[in-house]
Amino acid sequence: MATARVDPPPPVLSDLDAEEALLGSLWLDPGELLNLEQPLTPDDFESHKNGVLFGLFQRHGEGAREDAVILSPEAQEAGWTLSDLVQLSCRVPTSSHARFYAAKVLHYAELRRLVEAATRTVAMAYQSDAEPQTVWQSGRDRLDAAIGQRTDKAALNLKDSLTAYYDVLGERVGAKHKPVIRLPWQAISWYIPRLPGGTVTVVGANSSVGKTAFMECCAEEWAQAGFNIVFFHFELSHAIMLDRRMARQSGVGIDRLQSGDLGDGEAGFVAEATDRISSWPGDLTLAHCPGWTMPMVALKVRQLATRNPVDAVVVDYLQKAAFHQYERGLTPAQMRGQDVETLKILAEELDVPVVLGSQMNRQAQGVEHKTRHQLRDTGEADEKGNIVLILDREILEKDLGVFKAGEYSPEVSVRIDKNTLGKTGKTTLILDGPRFKLGDLVKG
């Protein structure tokens, strides 16, 4: 008597152990998110519970380890308890294998999407009115979408490019009366009328020339115009940054602000400036980040962008960022080039402009240069940036009013060394040193 054939059960297209090991690795070191070869999404997890927790890591980074964040209503609704988190932290002894676990999660996620696409295609073929050509086309589209969804925006054929371009034109017509992000000086706007999304502007200067003031003025002008700006400062503390901002906005010198002994008039100017700042329609987030790597900066921007729109990013300055990792055979200049590339990818991904400060080589101080590559340890930075601005100030040889011989001139030379969007050239701004404020130079 023949026995009935029993087909083996289909293989399980998931690895829950790998999902939990990945989450355990991120619990030990959320920074491992930066080392994943391909980005994951919560939908890549077979377990909805695991996907929810991964989403919290994406949005909150280091803060995701705090119980107040992890045990949010979203996490509790997904079934997470404090006991679960304690067990999760014991799943792996180290975070160093996060990339391996992430690759497994992605592997099974793509297989599940392929099976779903194939199943729908089979069901469509069994319909009474099915047309082979239609089934084939639909099945091919589903399969392409299942495995290629991470890179489907990389290629654009002629027909799709025309459609996409008309969409872009339509968006521009609809937004033509909206403010655009531009450098807030008429002298520079003739060369650079706007800073489009996806671009990196490198601002190079020696110490005390006005590089940080240049970027502070940009950020504050944009916030006043209604944009949301994130400003990363590696060197100056929050207190110093806020003192400089108040000096700019109130006209009270920073020495008076820091003395804590303001006269009635000065206190009135500070109060008026505070009222004006509080009424800005945009937002300006200051992020003090000593010791951070540039990938950490990029991750923080992505986290902030999940909560509120980010219209522009300012980073002061490149050489203060820690190297993400030392790679054999790479020079410091090449590794700095990788940092600029990290910001370039961020700018293109979020479609925002990035302004990056960079220190100059010391021997460049006070000298008129005709060649590029004057940025310290950044032989590739000006190649990767879309716009390169070089700021310089001369040392006075004789007294000039309140400025004495041997001091920096108040005139700031701005050389547009590179501009993939238009013209290059040279212009001049004026620096109000006590207020850390740059303005257009008015003759006479």
**What is residue 177's predicted lDDT score, i.e. its pLDDT?**
57
Is 80 exceeded by the pLDDT of residue 156?
A: no
**What is residue 302's predicted lDDT score, i.e. its pLDDT?**
86
Instruction: Taking residues 419-428, report their average pLDDT.
Output: 91
Helix (H, G, I), strand (E, B) or coil at 156: coil
Is 80 exceeded by the pLDDT of residue 274?
A: yes
**What is residue 2's predicted lDDT score, i.e. its pLDDT?**
56
Contacts of 236 (CB under 8 A, 6+ apart): 212, 244, 288, 316
Is 60 exceeded by the pLDDT of residue 370?
A: no
**What is residue 366's predicted lDDT score, i.e. its pLDDT?**
43
Distance, first Cα to last Cα, the chain: 111
> For the domain 186-259+268-440, what is the CATH code?
3.40.50.300
CATH architecture entry for 12-148? Orthogonal Bundle (1.10)
8 A C-beta contact, residue 396 and residue 406: yes
**What is residue 28's predicted lDDT score, i.e. its pLDDT?**
84
Helix (H, G, I), strand (E, B) or coil at 350: helix
Q: Smallest Cα–Cα separation from 289: which of 269, 304, 308, 306?
A: 304
Is 90 exceeded by the pLDDT of residue 416?
A: yes
CA-derived radius of gyration, the chain = 27
Q: What is the pLDDT of residues 79-137, one digit of tens each?
A: 888 888 778 878 888 888 888 999 899 989 989 988 998 999 999 999 888 888 888 87
Band of residue 153 on the pLDDT scale cut at 50, 70, 90: low
Q: Hey, what are 257's tokens?
A: 């602000």
Strands (E) across 269-410 are located at: 283-288, 312-316, 354-359, 387-392
Share of the chain above pLDDT 70, in %: 84
Is 60 exceeded by the pLDDT of residue 209?
A: yes
**Dihedral (CA of 26, 27, 29, 34) sign:** positive
Is 90 exceeded by the pLDDT of residue 214?
A: yes
Highest mean pLDDT among 26-30, 224-228, 293-297: 224-228
Instruction: Taking residues 416-427, report their average pLDDT.
Output: 91
**What is residue 62's predicted lDDT score, i.e. its pLDDT?**
60
Neighbours of 186 (CB within 10 A): 11
Phi first, then psi: give them for residue 336, nearest 5 degrees. Answer: -65, -35
Q: Residue with structure tokens 């008597």?
A: 1
408/397 Cα distance (integer angstroms): 10
Q: Smallest Cα–Cα separation from 223: which of 268, 269, 277, 171?
A: 277
The more confidently predicted of residues 410 and 378 is 410
Is 90 exceeded by the pLDDT of residue 433?
A: no
Structure pTM? 0.67
**Amino acid at position 204, single letter:** G
8 A C-beta contact, residue 195 and residue 356: no
197/2 Cα distance (integer angstroms): 70
Is 90 exceeded by the pLDDT of residue 227?
A: yes
Contacts of 336 (CB under 8 A, 6+ apart): 318, 319, 377, 378, 380, 381
If you average pLDDT over every residue of the chain, what do you get?
83
Neighbours of 439 (CB within 10 A): 16
Segments making up each domain of the chain, as ranges: 12-148, 186-259+268-440
Exposure of 169 by Cβ count < 10 A (0-12 exposed, 13-18 middle, 19+ buried)?
A: exposed
Is 80 exceeded by the pLDDT of residue 174?
A: no
The more confidently predicted of residues 202 and 84 is 202
Instruction: Taking residues 298-308, report their average pLDDT.
Output: 85
8 A C-beta contact, residue 110 and residue 45: no
Instruction: Taking residues 412-434, report their average pLDDT.
Output: 91
8 A C-beta contact, residue 315 and residue 165: no
Highest mean pLDDT among 66-70, 75-79, 287-291, 361-365: 287-291
35/27 Cα distance (integer angstroms): 15
Comparing 22-31, 337-346, 364-373, the range with the smallest average pLDDT is: 364-373
Q: Hey, what are 233's tokens?
A: 């400062």
Instruction: Taking residues 205-221, report their average pLDDT.
Output: 93
Q: Residue with structure tokens 């940036």?
A: 385
Is 90 exceeded by the pLDDT of residue 148?
A: no
Sheet holding 283-288, edge to edge: 283-288, 228-233, 312-316, 354-359, 200-205, 387-392, 411-419, 425-432, 437-440
